[in-house]
Structure 1
């Protein structure tokens, strides 16, 4: 069965990139133009504003559309919960490799709700974004707050730490994720699902519809 996928509000670079990624899967996945065809899954390219969320609502009401999935560089898991409660079937990072993207789209088509990437370890029930890269939970929390725009002094006040401790966590986290500037660290955090609000909503990964956390 051919899975028909449409990209909405995406620029040419994204369209060409997604086309190249799905080509290796033969005829099982085909990009279509929503203006002239129905689609099993629509990838809506990014949503960060109320206007974007209204766009999701319009797509959900479109009879030509089967499922709606948000596709973004600004990966924010806490926003995924709101969109999925609104009716979206997925929230995917553009950092996904081609085979990961296709697998996620097929899972959505089969009725699953997918938020990816899933970067939480599960071996002991205690996990956080960045654990696979060697980040401690404290380092991950510091990166999350930095990605939210907080200064080192702000982070220290928020976490009840000394400024020297925060600086130590920043240096060690930079080394583990292989960055050497604050801007690079923020970009890494956002593209890995570790950003402002992460500490409030760490629990969204892959769920059956109707079982999202409140």
Structure 2
């Protein structure tokens, strides 16, 4: 029986320190991962998973749109706690999931491995995601970054199970985030939460992807 080959993983980030840090964590697990160059050239290997730093969306959406169109790799958005709007836009664009930049090593490893597992074919008809609206959604209402991510996906019509799969969370964790978010925005049910979110800008990512 042949040995299982390490999963090729690429890291895309505009910040050298982020690239270096994520690659260093991945290289601590050579039996699981093999760090490869980003798939941005004709002779580059198509990796199994790409970790994509959402901070790059601040300077435009073309890079992510091209990446999703040109590679068969699973793309995991690396989210920034103070910019959940960027994570939401990456999810709306069609990435396969997200992990927080502040995640610990175990969480990062689990997120990459989960992304490499079975999934439905990526939708290829989404429009490029816009990054023109870059406010910190939900901050003034006390929503955490993850609560904002969950609320943005609720607006897009995802079920709790679909949200759990997209964000690599357990269904119970999603339910907790939903319950906490509802309490902070004064919503008693999903319909009220969607109405509140639309009034407060959370529909932006869904509108951009339609």
Instruction: State whether structure 2 residue 81 is matched by structure 1 residue 74.
Output: yes
Counterparts of 2:164 and 2:82, CA distance in 1: 15
Q: Which residue of 2 aligns with 1:26?
A: 30
Counterparts of 2:74 and 2:31, CA distance in 1: 20
Q: Calculate the TM-score normalised by the size of structure 1.
A: 0.51
List aligned pairs for 1:29-68, cutoff 5 A. Answer: 29-34=33-38, 35=41, 36-47=44-55, 49=57, 52-63=60-71, 65-68=72-75
SS in 1 for 2:35: strand
Unaligned runs of 5+ in 1: 114-143, 149-154, 156-185
Distance 1:80 1:109, change over 3 A: same
Aligned length: 139
Counterparts of 1:37 and 1:20, CA distance in 2: 20
Residue 83 of structure 1 deviates from its aligned partner by 3.5
Unaligned runs of 5+ in 2: 121-136, 155-159, 167-193, 195-205
SS in 1 for 2:26: helix
Distance 1:13 1:51, change over 3 A: closer
Q: 1 or 2, which has the higher strand percentage?
A: 1
Counterparts of 2:98 and 2:9, CA distance in 1: 15
1:206 to 138, 150, 164: 164
| Deviation readout 1:66-105 (Å, 9 max, x if unpaired) | 1112112236667655533432101221111112111111
Residue 23 of structure 1 deviates from its aligned partner by 2.8
Residue 26 of structure 1 deviates from its aligned partner by 2.6
Counterparts of 2:10 and 2:152, CA distance in 1: 32
> 1:2 touches 1:27 (CA, 8 Å); kept in 2?
yes
Counterparts of 2:15 and 2:58, CA distance in 1: 20
> How well do the aligned residues superpose, as a CA RMSD in angstroms?
3.7
> 1:7 touches 1:43 (CA, 8 Å); kept in 2?
yes
Q: Calculate the TM-score normalised by the size of structure 2.
A: 0.51
Higher Rg: 1
Q: Which residue of 2 aligns with 1:109?
A: 116
Q: Which residue of 1 aligns with 2:19?
A: 15
| Deviation readout 1:106-151 (Å, 9 max, x if unpaired) | 11111349xxxxxxxxxxxxxxxxxxxxxxxxxxxxxx85x23xxx
SS in 1 for 2:64: helix
